[in-house]
Amino acid sequence: MSAPSPSTPRQRTCRACGKKFDYPVKGSAATRHHCEDCVVVPPETRKILERLNQRVTQLERQLASQSRRQPSDPAPPAR
């Protein structure tokens, strides 16, 4: 099987917001790592958004793995 040509759009995930987008698309401001919406955000802010998105994704995975392990155990009552 041959590798896709460099000009063939591929589905990418934005590091800042997590949105799926095609890259490269002619006329689009999107980069390899950021969608069209996030590429206009100042780099300092985008870096913070990337860290927050990464942490949220990590927490979602932890919750998903915990719910698969113990689906029937109720949570302890809050005090």
Q: Please give the average pLDDT of every successive group of 10 residues along the chain, which has 79 residues.
A: 70 96 95 96 98 97 88 63
**Is the pTM here over 0.75, yes or no?**
no
- Report pLDDT for 68: 84
Helix ranges (DSSP H) in 1-79: 43-69
Looking at residue 73, what is its pLDDT?
Answer: 58
Task: For residue 74, tell me if it sits in a domain.
Answer: no
Q: Give kind and range of the element (H or E) at residue 22.
A: strand 20-23
- Cα–Cα distance for residue pair 16/48, rounded to 1 Å: 8
DSSP string, 27-40: T----SSS-TTGGG
Whether 75 is covered by a domain: the verdict is no
- Determine the pLDDT at residue 37: 97
With respect to residue 79, please indicate whether it lies within any of the assigned structural domains: no
User: How many structural domains are present in the chain?
Assistant: 1
- Model pLDDT, residue 41: 97
In a domain, 21, yes or no: yes
Q: Would 63 be classed as within a structural domain?
A: yes
Specify if 54 maps to a domain. yes
Residue 5 lies in a domain: no
Structural domain of residue 18, as residue ranges? Answer: 10-67
pLDDT at 74: 62
